[in-house]
Structure 1
């Protein structure tokens, strides 16, 4: 089981940018709010480390895929918010299309494997 969890984490790690962009498609959010949204979406089964997320925010901002701004201090501590840009939306759509195509190929190969294993069991 631990090996499966490590593999899943490796797969997810490669999609951190897309996951963050996907969260931001729903509206502007501050850093820790993005962390909580990801954690809650998986029922707590997956968390992206905060250090990884903050490195992702910096990279996405540098690449022009998100814009950062400081929120209103009247709502508590000063929070840095992130907003997806048009370029970020385009990258998100492209990455999702690539993922869907990849998943389709992997699903086909796994189904092929299951079919040949059933045949070998007979």
Structure 2
């Protein structure tokens, strides 16, 4: 039985997820989508329509930078990498998400849901 991951949680986690993936090195859209799926054990399957607005926003905010490159097949592909500002934002996002996760874990500790 497939679990439902609510779109609000996916949206809230999209920035730190993309920044974390790009912290591992330069990547392009389809590769980022594959990373999300693998990292989530198949629970998250982002679409192009969800990812590209996030990438554009991160680029506009100066957290990532993109560059176009031709593939061996002659198609253009945009590769993204973290900026220094993006690395700082990722560090602050990590702290925030760890605090949220810790509080949730404590609150669920006595719960029998």
Q: Name the counterpart of 1:75.
A: 72
Structure 2, gaps ≥5 residues long = none
Q: Name the counterpart of 1:93.
A: 91
With over 3 angstroms needed to count, the CA separation of the structure-2 counterparts of 1:79 and 1:60, relative to structure 1, is: same
Structure 1, gaps ≥5 residues long = 118-122
1:7-59: per-residue Cα shift (whole Å, max 9, x none)?
A: 4x432321101100000001101111111111122232211121111000100
Larger Rg: 1
Q: In the comparison of the two structures, how many residue pairs are matched?
A: 112
1:74-110: per-residue Cα shift (whole Å, max 9, x none)?
A: 5232101101101101111111110111111111111
Give the alignment's TM-score, normalised by structure 2.
0.87
CA distance, structure 1, for counterparts of residue 57 and residue 79 of structure 2: 15
Let me know the Cα RMSD of the aligned residues. Answer: 2.0
Give the alignment's TM-score, normalised by structure 1.
0.81
**Which has more helix, going by share of residues?**
1
